[in-house]
C-alpha cells in the first residue's frame, strides 16, 4: 500500500508509483485531487539504483544458489526472474509500464549482457499464472542479469 500526506512529504510513495498516481489512477474516492511534483528521470534513476536494485540483487543471488524451489518462493522467484525487465525499462525510459511493455521494449533495445529470452519465458509463465518450477533452471542466469543491470545503472548516472 502507498500513502502520503497532502504535501507528499511523509509516507511511502516511491517515484514510479507517484508517476502512476499522476498519470492513470483509478479513483475509488476523491475529495480533492492533489498533484505532487512529477519525479524527474534523475530522481527515478537514483531511486532504482538504491534499495530496489539492492534488494532484487540479493534475492537473485539467493535464488541462484538455491538447490530447490519451495512452494512459498514461487511468486518471489518469478518476480526475481522478471524484475530486470521492469528495472531496465523504467531506468531507461522513466516510465511505469507493465511487464509486457517492459519485455517488448527490451526486445527492441536489450542492454548489453541481459538475457531477454529468460525474461520472455518468465513473462509467458506469468501470463499463464503457472507454477515457475519448470523455470527453476533459469536461476543460473540471475547472477549475469544482476551484472547486466549493474552495468546499465552504473553507466548512465
Partner 1 sequence: MTPIPPDQAARRAAVEFAQSLVANWQAALGIELLGVYLIGSLVHGGFSRRYSDVDMAVIAEAGLRAATMERVRGEAAARSAE
Contacts with partner 1, residue ranges (CB under 8 A): 1-6, 10-11, 13, 17, 20-21, 24-34, 75, 78-79, 96-101, 126-127, 129
**Nearer CB in complex with partner 1: 124/140:** 124
Q: Which is nearer to partner 1, 52 or 97 (CB)?
A: 97
Q: How far is the CB of 31 from partner 1 (least distance, A)?
A: 5
Backbone φ, ψ for residue 17 (5° rounding)? -70, -30
CB of 64 to partner 1, least distance (A): 20
All cell numbers assigned to 69: 524451489
Q: Which of 156, 155, 132, 154 is nearest to 57 (CA)?
A: 154
* DSSP letter assigned to residue 109: S
The residue among 73 and 144 lying less far from partner 1, judged by its C-beta, is: 73
154 to each of 110, 132, 150, how far by Cα in Å? 16, 30, 6
> Least distance in Å: CB of 120 to partner 1?
14
Give whichever of 93 and 144 is closer to partner 1, judged by the CB atom: 93
Listed residue (21, 16, 25, 83) closest to 47, CA to CA: 16
Smallest separation, CB 125 to partner 1 (Å): 9
The neighbouring-strand residues paired with 12 are 3
Amino acid at each position: 500500500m502507498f500513502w502520503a500526506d497532502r504535501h507528499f512529504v511523509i509516507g511511502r510513495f516511491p517515484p514510479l508509483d507517484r508517476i502512476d498516481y499522476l498519470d492513470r489512477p483509478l479513483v475509488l474516492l476523491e475529495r480533492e485531487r492533489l498533484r505532487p511534483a512529477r519525479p524527474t528521470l534523475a530522481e527515478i534513476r537514483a531511486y532504482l539504483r538504491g534499495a530496489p536494485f539492492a534488494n532484487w540483487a540479493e534475492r537473485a543471488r539467493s535464488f541462484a544458489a538455491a538447490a530447490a524451489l519451495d512452494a512459498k518462493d514461487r511468486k518471489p522467484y518469478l518476480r526475481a526472474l522478471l524484475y530486470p525487465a521492469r528495472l531496465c525499462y523504467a531506468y531507461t525510459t522513466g516510465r511505469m509500464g507493465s511487464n509486457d511493455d517492459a519485455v517488448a521494449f527490451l526486445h527492441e533495445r536489450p542492454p548489453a549482457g541481459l538475457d531477454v529470452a529468460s525474461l520472455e519465458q518468465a513473462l509467458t509463465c506469468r501470463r499463464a499464472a503457472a507454477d515457475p518450477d519448470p523455470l527453476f533452471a533459469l536461476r543460473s542466469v540471475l547472477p549475469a542479469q544482476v551484472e547486466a543491470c549493474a552495468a546499465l545503472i552504473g553507466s548512465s548516472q
